Amino acid sequence: MRSAAPGDVPHVARFIGELARYERLEHQLDVDEGRLCEHLFGERPACAALLAEIDGAPVGFALYFTNYSTFRTRPCLYLEDLFVAPEHRGAGAGLALLRALAAEAVRRGCPRLDWAVLDWNESAIGFYEKRGAKLLHDWRVCRLDGDALLRMAGGG
């Protein structure tokens, strides 16, 4: 387990593509390695990533960023993506990524670590619940994108 470095951007981009295929969201994919590198390692990073390795080869990743709890008036961490290549699942890489991210949240003094999981992804839900995560059934994710985002911004 280690933090991603600039030379790892192709691995992270590949894992993002594999995750999109797994989640049946490949039609939404618009990965640009230059943008990804800038957002991970530029002057003002927007996110960070961890890589899981087996025998020195990357097998999975976790991408995360800081968000904020107004109720706790403290920064928190948000796990955007956690993915382990199918052929390496069950070897502990996913758990190692989740533990490393939880340790980072604790190190930073964050009161919580949040993420979303697709409702059909029973194996991921079981994995997270087994580790003590709670599904928040009374919350729904909201999103503005594309034309709706432009209209809301007054541009269309």
Average pLDDT value for residue range 31-42:
98
Query: Which residue in the list 22, 64, 68, 128 is annotated as catalytic?
Result: 128
Q: What is the mean pLDDT of residues 64-78?
A: 98
Tell me the whole-structure pTM to 2 decimals: 0.94
155: confidence class by pLDDT, cuts 50, 70, 90 = confident
pLDDT score, position 145:
92
Greatest pairwise CA separation for the chain in angstroms = 52
CATH topology of domain 2-115: Aminopeptidase (3.40.630)
Q: What is the pLDDT of residues 97-118, one digit of tens each?
A: 999 999 999 999 999 999 999 9
80 residue type, one letter: E
What pLDDT score does 22 carry? Answer: 95
Q: Any catalytic annotation for residue 64?
A: no
> CA-CA distance, 24 to 132, in Å (whole number)?
27
Burial of 28: CB neighbours in 10 Å, binned 0-12, 13-18, 19+: exposed
